[in-house]
Structure formats: structure tokens, C-alpha cells
Chains A and B, each alone.
Chain A
Amino acid sequence: EIVLTQSPATLSLSPGERATLSCRASQSVSSYLAWYQQKPGQAPRLLIYDASNRATGVPARFSGSGSGTDFTLTISSLEPEDFAVYYCQQRSSWPPLTFGPGTKVDIK
């Protein structure tokens, strides 16, 4: 099973600041990594797939990078609606599909 580790667990930032979230895989997942955003009481929302492709309707301030075992989700300038929990997910080797434990981005 591929284990995904996300850091930091919590990121406290102010609107307008840049957010950098990390996801590390226990073995290579090539570029088969996705990022999701989840707000309280809502289902997850796909942001990025295959490491760097923005999903339909996702603002350009969200970008993904990386390959192999190290990946980054960057939010270039935080908007108020971006404060949420972010999960990474790999589809390189399954079953099982695996998710990271999440990074919470909260308001400083």
C-alpha cells in the first residue's frame, strides 16, 4: 500500500498570502496524484489531477507540481473561500487507492 504523508498538518495564513502544501508518497506514484479541497459540511472538490492539471472551473491561483514521490499544491494568493482542508490522493498503485491525512489551511 502506498502511504501519502501531507505537511504541514495545519497552515495558518492570511488572505493574500501564498500557500504551499506538500504531499509525499512512500514510493513513486509517477504523476498519478490528485488534490482535493473540502470545506466543512461539503463533499470534496477536485482541484488538480495527474499532478499538475487543473480541473474544470478551478481558478488559476491553484497549481500543482511534482512527480515521483514529492508533490506540491500552491495557492498563489489566498482568497477567503480557500480556507479549507486539502487532501492528496494517488491512483498509481491500487487497490487500495490512498489519500493523505489532509492539510488544514486556516485563517491566521
Chain B
Amino acid sequence: EVQLLESGGGLVQPGGSLRLSCEASGFTFSDYVMDWVRQAPGKGLEWVSVISGSGGETNYADSVKGRFTISRDNSKSTLYLQMNSLRAEDTALYYCAKVGRANKWDQFFDFWGQGTLVTVSS
């Protein structure tokens, strides 16, 4: 059974940093592109970042480029999102999501974690 378990969210002041983690199980983690998607309270879904199965290729939404870094440790089946210079508008529930096909950049998401809440406020 595929499981994605996010952690690391919390309350942080503007300008602060957090590192989110997403521990994966139930599939061969290194075979899959993985993404982060966020959802501000009461709002829709916003794509944040993507990383290849090897970790060698990454991409970001313009809203987080230069502030967030996606990475993965395939030996631990864990995805990360390092978030720096946080702003109030980064407040959201952050989901990790698995793409639907192995070894492909087919970015539809067949499994999602339950999310970890990041609140940026003074």
C-alpha cells in the first residue's frame, strides 16, 4: 500500500525557515518523480516544485524560486522541501504527491500525503 507521510510543518516568523519531509512507502521511491503541492486555507491547489527520480532535475513555481529547495534521499525513501525567507503568503497545507507512472515525467498525481501545515506569522 502506497503511503506518503509529511512532517515538519509549524508556525514560523516571516523571514524564517522550515524543512518539510515526506516519508514514502509501498513503492520503489527512486523510480518516481515527486512533487510538492500546496493549498492556502480555504483556497485551491498550487503546484510548488518537482524533482526527478534520481534527484538530478528540479523545477519550481516562480512564487518560490530562489527561496525553496526540493531534494530527496532515495536510500531513505524521503522527499524534502527546504523553505527559506518565508512569507505570509506561503501559509498553506503542503502536500507531497507521487506521479502516476514510473520513470516518466507524467505529472498527474495518483497518491497524495495528508499534508503538513505551514503558518507564517509574527
Q: Which residues of B contact A95 (CB under 8 A)?
A: 47, 50, 59-62
In angstroms, Cα B59 to Cα A96, docked, is: 9
In angstroms, Cα B39 to Cα A36, docked, is: 14
In angstroms, Cα B106 to Cα A34, docked, is: 11
Give chain A nearest CB distance to B76 CB in angstroms.
Answer: 22
Render A2-33 as a binary contact track against B, CB cut-off 8 A, 1 for contact. 00000000000000000000000000000000
Interface residues in B, total, Cβ within 8 A: 22
Q: Which residues of A contact B50 (CB under 8 A)?
A: 95, 97
B45 within 8 A of A: yes
A98 within 8 A of B: yes
Give chain A nearest CB distance to B41 CB in angstroms.
Answer: 12
Q: Which residues of A contact B59 (CB under 8 A)?
A: 94-95
Q: Which residues of B contact A91 (CB under 8 A)?
A: 106-108
A44 within 8 A of B: yes
B26 within 8 A of A: no
Partner of B108, one of A89, A96, A101: A89
B46 within 8 A of A: yes
Render B91-113 as a binary contact track against A, CB cut-off 8 A, 1 for contact. 00001000010000011111111
Q: Which residues of B contact A97 (CB under 8 A)?
A: 35, 47, 50, 107
In angstroms, Cα B61 to Cα A42, docked, is: 24
In angstroms, Cα B106 to Cα A97, docked, is: 11
B56 within 8 A of A: no
Q: Which residues of A contact B62 (CB under 8 A)?
A: 95-96
Q: Is there contact, CB below 8 Å, between A99 and B46? A: yes
Render A68-108 as a binary contact track against B, CB cut-off 8 A, 1 for contact. 00000000000000000001010100111111111000000
Q: Is there contact, CB below 8 Å, between B110 and A43? A: no
Give chain A nearest CB distance to B33 CB in angstroms.
Answer: 11
Interface residues of A (CB under 8 A from B): 34, 36, 42-46, 49-50, 55-56, 87, 89, 91, 94-102
Across the A-B interface, give the 6 residue pairs with the lowest CB-CB distance, nearest first.
Answer: A43-B112, A97-B47, A34-B108, A91-B107, A49-B108, A99-B45
